[in-house]
Amino acid sequence: MSLVQPRTLPGALELLPREQIAFQRLLDTIRATYERFGFLPIETPVMELTEVLLTKEGGETERQVYFAQSTGDREAGREPELALRFDLTVPLARYVAQYEHQLAFPFRRYQIQRVYRGERAQRGRFREFYQCDIDIVGKDELPVRFDAELPAVIYSLFTELGFGGFRIQINNRKLLRGVLAALGIAEGEPQTLVLREVDKLDKRGPEYLRDTLRERFSLGDDIIGRLLAFVGTRSTSYAHARGLLADLERDLAHPLLAQGAAELREVLDRLVDFGVPDSHVCLNFAIARGLDYYTGTVYETILTDHPEIGSVCSGGRYDDLASHYTKSRLPGVGLSIGATRLFWQLRELGLYKDAESTVQVLVALMDESLLGPALQLATRLRAAGIAVEAQLEAAKLAKQLKYADRAGIRFVALLGSDELAKGVVSVKDMQRGTQFEVAADELAATLEVEIAQARAMAGVPRA
C-alpha cells in the first residue's frame, strides 16, 4: 500500500501549537483593540451564493474566486451556486443590506475571519488567510471625520503590538483624480490606468514610473514631470501636510482637487483630536489603492523598521457600499489587516518567537505511587483558575523536565515523597532555572503571583 504524502495545499499556513499560540495572541490584541474603539463583532459564512458574491461580472476578482458545488450539482453539470469569499467587504455589504432595519447606524463592525483567493503561490502570498477588518457604515451620510477614526485605531494597535516604528500613509482619491484631470488626463479609464502605475511608485521607483508613463501613456515630458513631482510628495508633519495641500491648490485648480484637499484637511484636524502624533502619519500622494470601490480617503500602513514587508494594513472610504443589494445609500470607511501575512513575515524576520505554552503549570509524576496526590494537586490548581497539565505516566524526572522545556511550560510542580512528607511542593521555574518550596496549601496563590509577574515581564497583554 502506497502512502499518501501528508501535505497542505500550497498557500495555506498551518502552525505548530506554540506558533499557533503566538498567532492567537496577535489576533487577541487586534480584537481587543477593535472592541476598545467600540466596534461590534460579526461573522459571515465562508461560502456565499455565487450571485451574491460576484456582483461584478468577470475581471480579476472572478479569476481568483474558488467555487464550491455539491456532488449532485457537479454530476448534473450545473454551474456552481456557491463561492468562497475573497474578502470581508463584499459579505459586509450583503450583511448590512440584509439586516439594515435591525442594525444601528453608523454601524461599526469588526470581523476576523479567513478569506480565500486563487492565487499562484508565492512567498508571503496565501490562498487562505485571515483578514481583520473594521468598517463604519453610515446611512445616507457618513461625515469625513469618521475617516480619521480608523488611523486612530491603527495607531493604538501597532503601538501596542510593538513591532517598532510604523507610518500610516494617507491619500485621497478625489484629490488624485482632480490633479490628474487638471493635468489633462481624461477621467475614467485613462486616469485609472495611470493611477495603477502611480501606485507602484514606492516599489519600483520614479525612473520606472517615468518610463512607463512616457511609453505606455505617451504623456508629454512636462506633464510627466509635474505628475512625478506631485506623486513623489510626502508630508513630514501635520503642518507640512497642510502646507502641501495649500501649495497644490495654488498651482492647480479643479473642483475634485479642492474637495479632496478639504477632506484631507478635515482628516488631519481630527487626527490631532484623536491623539495620533504626526510622527506616525504622512500624506503620500502615490497611494491609490484598489481602483474599484474606493472614492475618498485611502490608507496604507508600513512598518518603518521593516519596509520590505510592504503594506501591513490598508483601506479607505467608499461612497456606496451595498448598491448591488439595496437602494439605500450606505457610505462607509473601512480597513483591513492581513494577519496571516503579517505574522508570517514577522516570523520570517525572526521577530516572532514561539510563545509560551497555554499550559501554565506541569505537575510532574515522580513515582507511580504518587499518582493520586499529583492528580489531586492538579485539580486544586485548576479550581484556582490555573491551566494545568498533569503527567499521567511516571518517567525519569529529566524526561519530564525536558518535556516541559520543549512544550514551553514555564512552571513545573514537583510532588515527590520528600515533599509529601513535609506537606510542601517544589516549584521549578524553567525559564529562570530556579526552584523553591512552598506549603501545599499556598501553592495556588503563590503560582498566581508568579504567573502574573511572568506575564508582566513578558509584556503579554491581558486576554
Partner RNA sequence: GUGGAUGUAGCUCAGACGGUUAGAGCACCGGAUUGUGAUUCCGGGGGUCGCGGGUUCGAAUCCCGUCUUCCACCCCA
Q: Which three cell numbers stand for residue 57?
A: 461580472
H or E element at residue 437: strand 434-439
**Residue 372 contacts residue 63 (beta carbons within 8 Å):** no
294 is in an annotated binding site: yes
Q: Which three cell numbers stand for residue 275?
A: 491623539
Check residue 340 for interaction with RNA (CB under 7 A): yes
CA-CA distance, 249 to 268, in Å (whole number)? Answer: 17
Task: Give the residue among 303, 310, 313, 364 at the shortest CA–CA distance from 339.
Answer: 313
Nearer to RNA, 237 or 435 (CB): 435
- Binding RNA (rule: CB under 7 A), the pick from 68, 252, 349, 397 is 397
Q: Least distance to RNA from the beta carbon of 367, Å?
A: 8
159 is in an annotated binding site: no
Check residue 418 for interaction with RNA (CB under 7 A): yes
Nearer to RNA, 78 or 406 (CB): 406
- Binding RNA (rule: CB under 7 A), the pick from 198, 428, 443, 444 is 428
Check residue 458 for interaction with RNA (CB under 7 A): no
403 is in an annotated binding site: no
Binding mask 124-153 for RNA (x = CB under 7 A): xxxx-x-x----------------------
131 is in an annotated binding site: yes
- Binding RNA (rule: CB under 7 A), the pick from 336, 357, 360, 391 is 336
Beta bridge partners, 260, equal none
Check residue 121 for interaction with RNA (CB under 7 A): yes
247 is in an annotated binding site: no
**Residue 173 contacts residue 248 (beta carbons within 8 Å):** no
Binding mask 55-94 for RNA (x = CB under 7 A): -----x---x----------------------x-------
- Binding RNA (rule: CB under 7 A), the pick from 326, 358, 431, 446 is 431
Check residue 122 for interaction with RNA (CB under 7 A): yes
Q: Which three cell numbers stand for residue 403?
A: 518535556
Check residue 462 for interaction with RNA (CB under 7 A): no
> What are the residues whose beta carbons fall under 8 Å from the beta carbon of 171, sequence distance 6 or more?
264, 283, 284, 285, 286, 287, 288, 297, 298
CA-CA distance, 64 to 90, in Å (whole number)? Answer: 14
Burial class (CB in 10 A: 0-12, 13-18, 19+), 284: buried
> What are the residues whose beta carbons fall under 8 Å from the beta carbon of 389, sequence distance 6 or more?
359, 361, 362, 363, 378, 409
The binding site for L-histidine comprises: 87-89, 117, 131, 135, 289, 293-294
Which residues of this chain interact with RNA, rule CB under 7 A?
A: 10, 60, 64, 87, 117, 119-127, 129, 131, 196, 200, 289-292, 310-314, 336-338, 340-342, 366, 396-399, 401-402, 404-406, 414, 416-419, 426, 428, 430-431, 433, 435
